[in-house]
Structure 1
């Protein structure tokens, strides 16, 4: 089982206006395909999160042939959500892609992130099956495989980068209330529980925290 990072570049000339909006980095702060579902062979439903002008996105979607319905919520909030129902046959950039990835051996992890005119995502499964899937995508979509790693990988589960003692120190710190407000434990308390010196416990904590923060920032930056 592999964790595969991919970048998808739709052909903007063939993309509907609302998809071009999602791919326009100047139109919003962030956009994600939160989830989707193919209810039957003709229709699919998609939910998008837009940190920007959700009303404009909804307007473009309603004007698009092949979009059956659009429902917008939290339009006045920083992040709004749009639920769209599509006729796949009229929007082959969606229907063809859905047909290609709708096969056993692959799981597309949600969400997909729209950034720099591309769609960034993660897939878990068999690389051979993924390559076959890529070969069957419509011409309006190109896919680049960025990385193939064992699953779970640090990109999926950052705790896999922690040493045993770092993980133990963090777990003990949580259990003793070190991260509570107000703080209920000290490095000395953690050291007593671990059977080591306070300086050693502090070192394990700092190194473990640094790894988790770096992984968190990397995940955050990759989702923008």
Structure 2
């Protein structure tokens, strides 16, 4: 079984009008896209993970004519949103292409700092090469690497938010998990411009996310 890891890079119009509105709001951050499916009527259902201001997010979803329905749940400053979206030619075209070439995408999909979407597509790599010309106008696929697909730590790491990834990477690099421990929460916080308490809270959530999936 083979995979192709790539970044979906839209132009300034974004992948979908609602997605663009959320991306442009200063108080809401898109973290992960846990699932997205194209329905038979060419509408779309998606499960997002956000961080930031819940009220701002609720206002965007409630006021958008492109959101037929949404459900929002929040915990520890993170918000999961199930959204039923009206069709948009660009996203419908992209999802139709993935379905036509029989790709399965590994979830969750991760938003990059520049607004792209990092995805691992599982299937025939030759089909991936054939599919590239069918990518809708305004969207570019940047191939990162291909190889034999095996679930690994990359998948676990991708389930963390961007901020959690940054904190965990910094903690490891500074020696927080060395034996004996080389730094404190406060040391890491000073390097990242936040408090030691914030670092500790993030690390506890990170450890809960990762360890519950490792232990059988």
Distance 1:157 1:16, change over 3 A: closer
Which residue is equivalent to 1:82? 81
Which residue is equivalent to 2:108? 111
Which residue is equivalent to 1:176? none
Deviations 1:101-127 (A, max 9, x none): 113542111111112121111111111
Q: Which has the larger radius of gyration?
A: 1
Which residue is equivalent to 2:132? 134
Structure 1: give runs of 5+ residues left out of the alignment: 159-215
- Any residues of structure 2 matched to 1:29-40 within 5 Å, and which? 31-40=31-40
Which residue is equivalent to 2:176? none
Judge conservation of contact 2:66–2:85 (CA < 8 Å) in 1.
Answer: yes
Structure 2: give runs of 5+ residues left out of the alignment: 157-205, 211-216
Q: Distance in 1 between matches of 2:98 and 2:144?
A: 18
Judge conservation of contact 2:97–2:134 (CA < 8 Å) in 1.
Answer: yes
Distance 1:5 1:54, change over 3 A: farther
Q: Distance in 2 between matches of 1:62 and 1:140?
A: 27
Q: TM-score with structure 2 length normalisation?
A: 0.61
Which residue is equivalent to 2:172? none
**2:150 maps to 1:152:** yes
Judge conservation of contact 1:21–1:27 (CA < 8 Å) in 2.
Answer: no
Judge conservation of contact 1:108–1:122 (CA < 8 Å) in 2.
Answer: yes
Q: Distance in 1 between matches of 2:30 and 2:86?
A: 26
- Any residues of structure 2 matched to 1:32-51 within 5 Å, and which? 32-51=32-51
SS in 1 for 2:40: coil
Quote how far apart the aligned CAs of 1:71 are: 1.8
Distance 1:13 1:104, change over 3 A: closer
Q: Distance in 2 between matches of 1:144 and 1:66?
A: 28
SS in 1 for 2:100: coil
Structure 2 residue aligned with 1:92, among 89, 93, 98? 89
Judge conservation of contact 1:6–1:143 (CA < 8 Å) in 2.
Answer: yes
Quote how far apart the aligned CAs of 1:85 are: 0.6
Q: TM-score with structure 1 length normalisation?
A: 0.59
- Any residues of structure 2 matched to 1:4-83 within 5 Å, and which? 4-13=4-13, 15-16=15-16, 18-20=18-20, 23=23, 27-28=27-28, 31-74=31-74, 77-83=76-82
SS in 1 for 2:7: strand
C-alpha RMSD of the superposition? 3.1
Q: Distance in 2 between matches of 1:83 and 1:59?
A: 15
Deviations 1:25-57 (A, max 9, x none): 964565111112333233221111112224323
